Amino acid sequence: MTSLIQVLDHGPIRQLRLARAPVNALDTALCADLTAAIAQAQADAVHALVLSGNERIFSAGMDVPHLLGHGDDRAKLLHSWQQFFGAARALADSAIPVVAALTGHAPAGGCVLALCCDYRVMARSPDPAHPLTIGLNETQVGLVAPEGIQRLLRRVVGAHRAERLLVGGELVSAERALEIGLVDELVDAELVVARAVAWLQELLQRPRQPMLQTRAIARADLRAALADEHIQLERFVDGWQAPDTQAALHALVAKLGKR
* Cα separations in angstroms, 76 against 31, 50, 91, 123, 237: 14, 30, 23, 35, 11
What is the number of domains present in the chain? 1
Tell me the residue range of the domain where 62 lies: 5-257
pLDDT value at position 255?
Answer: 77
What is the rounded CA–CA span in Å between residue 228 and residue 140?
Answer: 24
Residue 54 has pLDDT above 60, yes or no: yes
Q: What is the CATH number of the domain that holds 51?
A: 3.90.226.10
For 8-41, the pLDDT digits (tens) are 999 999 999 999 999 999 999 999 999 999 999 9
What are the start-end ranges of the H helices in the chain? 28-43, 64-68, 74-93, 109-115, 147-157, 159-168, 174-180, 192-203, 208-218, 220-225, 228-231, 233-240, 243-257
Other beta carbons less than 10 A from residue 9's beta carbon? 11
Residue 71 has pLDDT above 70, yes or no: yes
Instruction: Using alpha carbons only, give the angle 162, 168, 174 rounded to the nearest 5 degrees.
Output: 65
pLDDT value at position 1?
Answer: 47
* Mean pLDDT on 53-72: 91
Residue 207 has pLDDT above 60, yes or no: yes
What is the rounded CA–CA span in Å between residue 143 and residue 146?
Answer: 9
For 72-129, the pLDDT digits (tens) are 899 999 999 999 999 999 999 999 999 999 999 999 999 999 999 999 999 999 888 8
Residue 204 has pLDDT above 60, yes or no: yes
In sequence order, the 6+-apart residues with CB closer than 8 A to the CB of 136 are: 107, 108, 111, 112, 145, 149, 153, 165, 166, 169
* Mean pLDDT on 169-174: 96
